[in-house]
Amino acid sequence: MKIAVLDWYTVSVSGDITTEQLEQFGEVKVISLTKPEETAANIGDADIVLCNKVLINKEVMDACPNIKYVGLFATGYNNVDVGYAAQKGITVCNAGQYSTNAVAQQVFAYILDRYSRIRDYDSAVKAGEWERSPAFSYFPIPTAELAGQTLAIVGYGSIGRRVAELGKAFGMDIVVSTRTKPVDCPYEVTDVLTAAEKADVITCHCPLTEQTKGLVSSELLSVMKPTATLINTSRGPVVNEADLAEALNSGKIAAAYLDVLEKEPMSPDTPLKTAKNCTITPHTAWAAYETRRRLVDIVCDNIRAWQNGAPKNKVN
């Protein structure tokens, strides 16, 4: 079989992971990144298409009649017209739950950054402020314990559950808001506005749907505590960027940590670039080496299962 990998750069920027594992399934053509107008040509007569964000729509599928399988280096599959793929007998499989530990870890890196203020104190020390201190301990920047703080989690899939476990280990009070009430959930479950109102930290782990697009808006931000912190590692459009920037700049909330934005790569025009107390990372929460290795393993397992007639993680 012929395999076209359309955006390998999104899996391995520095070459730390190779495509050798994919070669067991057939002849592999690797493209670093694919522009929309290049998609059909880059797929050519391939039987298997592997990608992360490349748009695989009706036009692409019609132009590439050999496609039998589309495998995603991602959990999300909104870049593939899965309904039309099903009509054409094309199997589409995603890679779920590969990044749970890495994303949860980054959420707590954000939380600890905010509560322990390590970066701020490092800057103060290097500016000579400790050397000028009249006492052995220099602590003008407020810090706080996580124990007893309320952590609100929007979305209770594998990542949301892992974040809740870590929060509980730190002694935080956990509040969950999710579309479907989970069975045997050990935490308080409530609606999203109530969760936001109670939160000292609110973190988003929901999929992007019509219902969650713009979920973090002026309405939600207006009920939050002025001392509260917002975290988003889910999907950028879950947050209304103009509303969040206004809330940060006016002091309606204290801080925000974002790993995803409405437009990626980041637009220079986003109001969050200059917003007060807004920390932005370039969609890195999922990108730990171990996580990406696991992702490739899952993609290979999916191909193997499909070839054996029992597809796993099929989304159409």
Backbone angles phi, psi at 244, to 5 degrees: -65, -45
Residue keyed to tokens 């980041």: 266
**CB-based contact 73:95 (threshold 8 Å):** yes
Is the peptide bond preceding residue 265 cis, with omega within 30 degrees of 0? yes
Q: Is residue 264 among the annotated active site residues?
A: yes
State the Cα–Cα distance between residues 287 and 289, nearest whole angstrom.
Answer: 6
The single residue of 23, 264, 290, 304 carrying the catalytic annotation is: 264
The single residue of 117, 188, 219, 283 carrying the catalytic annotation is: 283
**CB-based contact 213:242 (threshold 8 Å):** no
State the Cα–Cα distance between residues 249 and 286, nearest whole angstrom.
Answer: 29
Backbone angles phi, psi at 27, to 5 degrees: -80, 120
Residue keyed to tokens 């890195």: 284
| DSSP category for residue 120 | H
Give the CB-side neighbour count of residue 70, counting CA atoms within 13 A.
Answer: 32
Tokens matching residue 212: 């969650």
Backbone angles phi, psi at 186, to 5 degrees: -80, 0
- In sequence order, the β-bridge partners of residue 142 are none
Backbone angles phi, psi at 203, to 5 degrees: -130, 135
Nearest to 71 by CA among 283, 306, 293: 306
Q: Is residue 129 among the annotated active site residues?
A: no
The single residue of 235, 262, 292, 294 carrying the catalytic annotation is: 235
- In sequence order, the β-bridge partners of residue 154 are 177, 204
**CB-based contact 61:43 (threshold 8 Å):** no
Tokens matching residue 62: 């019609």
Catalytic residues, which ones?
235, 264, 283
